[in-house]
Amino acid sequence: MTARSVDRSVTVQSALVLHPDRSRRDDLRAAEARLAEAVGLAEALDLRVVQALVAPLRAPVPATLLGAGKVAEIAALCAELSLDVVVVDDALSPVQQRNLERAWQAKVIDRTGLILEIFARRARTREGRLQVELARLAYEASRLVRTWTHLERQRGGFGTMGGPGETQIETDRRLIAERVARLKRELAEVRRTRTLARRARRRVPFPTIALVGYTNAGKSTLFNRLTDADVVAKDLLFATLDPTMRRLKLPGGRPAILSDTVGFISSLPHELVEAFRATLDEVKEADIILHVRDIASAESEAEAADVRAVLGELGAGEEAGQRVLEVWNKIDLLPDDAREFLAARARRDGGAVAVSAVTGEGIERLTERLAALVDEGPLLTIALSASDGEGLAWLYRHGRVVSRESGVDDGLVVTARLEPAALAKFEQLRPSALLAAAE
Ligand code: GTP
């Protein structure tokens, strides 16, 4: 294959990481933090990052993305530091990529290429590997197509058509198309098996809990801590591309199934969102979502916002009616007063638990909260008469009211969760209230 975006030979090479700063005002994350993330991604690829910088980008230049001055400046750096690779933390068109490679005399990798390569290395299950391979081929195919039109235009200028270049590209495109078709067949087969497995699991009445979180938040570490499993936790981004399932024993002896999922990152290249989607089905179907956050990170809020946005896009999370418990992880990294403040806030809040997956602090409280959530019972739809303020107050006291709206005849339709004991009591108190399981 001729157009591999990143080849194996990059592994021990020295690199410069460049973050073009487009400074949109809606962007929560500072350019420096974005740069740090890109450096983390490059290091996860075993690149030796010798220089990292932010390049303000006010007016993108079609041919090179960056302005001529910046291109020259980087060219000088490449020569001075004998750099092999320049990582541009933005999407580059194939033409831009090639022009920059020529100007800098170094291999240029854009953000999509970088993430694809990382995904390829981290994929653990067959499905994950197939998904990544497909995404990578789609990326390559788009480069080939665009390379092709570009060459065609160039050649047109010289009045020649055809030639070995063209044939090579056509061959590549055919090979890619064949490979895509084969991968899709394999993927369909793997997915069929997985759907069967999921169906079998659904017959077992174990509640399922899915871990989600920004990359490096500590999902794998928490997963191990909770299940004593030995999924390797490394200080590498994307240690987990595929969901991994383990049995989890909650206080009270009730078993649940815990699944570890892929780490989210900011501005996931859209080519990769599809590859994510299937893997994240587990999240959509989970009874409870554990949103693991690195609460010691300076970017904790922005990261959490990214994760919620991705969940929303997938039709999962709080907006989709799922129960989400936040795990404020890495409290061991905080000074004592900040740690106590957070733990108190989490307790008051009810929707969060502060823990350290490494030291084990707070883990007991987390499993207790999980057990309580699991026992909270199913989501119920309850119809009350408009005058039944007492019934409504009872539901607020003994259950968790999720929503209330007006129903027929001025009545009230309440959606709430009730533990089995509370449900039995409510049925005695209001035998005529229409009850239906909403999920
Ligand atoms: P991805 O797979 O990239 O999404 O990462 P992850 O969310 O699974 O994170 P992982 O568990 O691999 O942890 C990332 C790094 O954070 C590792 O170096 C962990 O040792 C570290 N870490 C996780 N939890 C804690 C914690 O409670 N305290 C401290 N100090 N470090 C932690």
Q: Which protein residue's CA is at the shortest distance from atom 21 of ligand 1?
A: 218
Task: Return the pLDDT at 63.
Answer: 94
Give the β-pairing of 352-354 and 323-329. parallel
Q: Round the average pLDDT of the chain to a whole number and report it.
A: 79
Report the C-alpha gap between 121 and 118 in whole angstroms.
5
Q: Go through the chain and tell me how many residues it has.
A: 439
Q: Is the CB of 331 inside a 6 Å radius of any atom of ligand 1?
A: no
Q: Which residue shows structure tokens 């990214």?
A: 306
d(CA 410, CA 93): 59
pLDDT in tens, 229-252: 544 444 444 444 455 677 787 887
Instruction: Please list, residue by residue across 67-104, b when 16 or more beta carbons sit within 10 angstroms of its beta carbon and e when fewer do.
Output: beebbeebbebbeeeebbbbbbbbbbbbbbbbbbeebb
Residue 152 — very low, low, confident or very high, per pLDDT cuts 50/70/90? very low
pLDDT digits 0-9 by tens, 304-331: 988 888 888 778 888 877 889 999 999 9
Tell me, what's the pLDDT at 232?
47
Task: Supply the Cα-derived Rg of the chain in whole angstroms.
Answer: 26
- The Å distance, Cα 222 to ligand 1 centre, comes to 8
Report CA(220)–ligand 1 centroid distance (Å). Answer: 7
Ligand 1 close to Cβ of residue 239 (< 6 A): yes
What pLDDT, on the 0 to 100 scale, is given for residue 10? 41
Mean pLDDT check: name the lowest of 90-99, 212-221, 261-270: 261-270
Whether the pLDDT of residue 60 is over 80: the answer is: yes
CA atoms in the 13 A half-sphere facing the CB of 313 = 15
Distance 284 CA to ligand 1 centre (A): 23
Cα 407 to its chain centre, rounded Å, is 38
Atom of ligand 1 nearest to the CA of 233: 12
From the CA of 329, give the closest atom in ligand 1: 27
- Residue 303 Cα to ligand 1 midpoint, Å, equals 15
pLDDT of residue 75: 97
State yes or no: pLDDT of 180 exceeds 90.
Answer: no
What's the CA-to-centroid distance between 334 and ligand 1, angstroms? Answer: 15
Q: Is 143 in the pocket of ligand 1 (CB under 6 A)?
A: no
Residue 217 CB–ligand 1 contact under 6 Å: yes
Phi, psi for residue 431 in degrees, rounded to 5? -60, -25
Please give the structure tokens belonging to residue 71: 């291109």
The residues, any chain, with a CB within 8 Å of residue 40's CB and separated by 6 or more, are: 216, 237
Residue 239: per-residue pLDDT: 45
Please answer whether residues 124 and 244 qualify as being in contact, where contact means their C-beta atoms are separated by less than 8 angstroms.
yes
The pLDDT of residue 275 is: 62
Query: Is the separation of the CB atoms in 302 and 337 below 8 Å?
Result: no
Expressed in angstroms and rounded, the spacing between residue 122 Cα and the centre of ligand 1 is 15
DSSP 274-296: HHHHHHTHHHHH-SEEEEEEETT
Q: Is the CB of 358 under 6 A from ligand 1?
A: yes
Residue 188 has pLDDT above 90, yes or no: no
CB contact set of 310 (below 8 Å; sequence gap of 6+)? 264, 268
| pLDDT value, residue 267 | 61
- Listed in sequence order, the DSSP H helices in 231-335 are 270-279, 281-285, 300-313
- Tens digits of residue pLDDT in 366-418: 998 888 887 777 778 888 888 888 888 888 887 778 888 887 777 888 888 87
Tell me which of 45, 124, 211, 220 to substitute to probe ligand 1's pocket, judged by most ligand atoms within 8 Å of the beta carbon.
Answer: 220
Number of Cβ within 10 Å of residue 344's Cβ equals 11
pTM of the model: 0.68
Mean predicted confidence (pLDDT) in 130-148: 71
Q: How far is the C-alpha of 263 from the C-alpha of 326, rounded, in Å?
A: 15
**Pocket lining: 361 vs ligand 1, CB cutoff 6 Å:** no
pLDDT greater at residue 206 or residue 35? 35
Q: Are 115 and 44 in contact (CB under 8 A)?
A: no
Cα–Cα dist 197/191, whole Å: 10
Is 164 a residue whose pLDDT tops 60?
no
